[in-house]
Amino acid sequence: MGLEFYEELKALVGQEGSRLVAVDEVCKPMIRHWCEAMQDGNPLYTDEEYARKSKYGSIIAPPTMLLTWTMPPLWPPREQPPHPFEQFLEKLDKAGFYGILITNVAQKYHRPLFPGDHITFTYKVTDVSPEKKTSLGNGHFVTTTFIFTNQKGETVGTQSLTVLKYRIGP
Amino acid sequence: MAWKYLYWEDVEEGQELPTVTMNITCTTVIAGAIASRDFTPVHHDRDFVQKAGLKDILLNNATICGFVGKYLTDWTGPEGELKEISFRISTPCFPGDTMTKTGKVVKKYTGGDQHLVDVEYEFAVPQGRNCGGTGTIALPTRGH
| Closest residue in chain B to residue A63, using alpha carbons only | B82
Q: What is the mean pLDDT of chain A?
A: 94
Q: Yes or no: say if A21 and A120 are a contact pair by the CB < 8 Å rule.
A: yes
Does the structure show a pLDDT above 90 at A169? Answer: no
A108 and B83 in contact by Cβ < 8 A? yes
Is the CB of A54 inside 8 Å of chain B's CB atoms? yes
- Going through A61-150 in order, the beta strands assigned E by DSSP cover 99-109, 120-128, 132-134, 137-149
Residue A84's pLDDT is 85
As a whole number, mean pLDDT of residues B6-12 equals 98
Percentage of residues in chain B having pLDDT higher than 70? 99
Fold of the B10-138 domain: Thiol Ester Dehydrase; Chain A (3.10.129)
Query: Which pLDDT band holds residue A78 (cuts at 50, 70, 90)?
Result: confident
Q: Tell me how close the Cα of B16 comes to any Cα of chain A, in angstroms.
A: 21
Q: C-alpha A78: how far from its chain's center?
A: 16
Residue pair B4/B75 in contact (Cβ under 8 Å)? The answer is: no
Q: pLDDT digits over B85-104, tens only?
A: 999 999 999 999 999 999 99
The rounded distance, in Å, linking the Cα atoms of A128 and B71 is 31
DSSP symbols for B46-112: HHHHHHTT-SS----HHHHHHHHHHHHHHHH-TT-EEEEEEEEE-S---TTPEEEEEEEEEEEEEET
The predicted pLDDT at position A1 comes to: 54
pLDDT in tens, B38-47: 999 999 999 9
pLDDT of residue A59: 98
CATH superfamily, domain at A3-23+65-166: Hotdog Thioesterase (3.10.129.10)
Query: What was the ipTM of the complex prediction?
Result: 0.96
pLDDT at site A79: 81
Say whether A107 and B34 touch across the interface (CB within 8 A).
no
Using the beta-carbon criterion (under 8 Å), do B69 and A63 form an inter-chain contact?
yes
**Which among B1, B62, B89 is the nearest to A68, CB-wise?**
B62
Tell me which chain B residue has its CA closest to the CA of residue A51. B78
The span from the CA of A16 to the CA of A121, in Å, is 11
Determine whether the interchain pair B85/A161 forms a contact, defined as Cβ–Cβ distance below 8 Å.
Answer: no
Annotated domain spans of chain A: 3-23+65-166, 27-60
Domain ranges, ordered by start, for chain B: 10-138
Q: List B residues 48-77 in contact with A (Cβ-Cβ < 8 A).
A: 61-70, 73-74
B144 at interface of A, judged by CB pairs closer than 8 A: no
Residue of A36, A104, A107 with shortest CB distance to B31: A36
Q: Compute the average pLDDT of residues A12-41.
A: 95
> Average pLDDT of A66-80?
91
Q: What is the pLDDT of residue B144?
A: 61
Of B28, B69, B86, the CB nearest to A106: B86
Alpha helices in chain A (DSSP H): 3-11, 28-38, 43-46, 48-53, 84-94
* Residue B1 confidence (pLDDT) above 80: no
Whether B40 contacts chain A with CB within 8 A: no
> Among A40-54, A76-90, B59-73, B120-134, which is the least confidently predicted range?
A76-90
Q: From B139, B106, B137, B130, select the one nearest B21 (Cα to Cα).
A: B130
Contact predicate B18/B102, CB 8 Å: no
pLDDT in tens, A152-164: 999 999 999 999 9
Q: Which pLDDT belongs to residue A135?
A: 85
Model pLDDT for residues A88-128, shown as the tens digit of each residue: 899 999 999 998 999 999 999 999 999 999 999 999 999 99
Taken as a whole, chain A contains a residue count of: 170
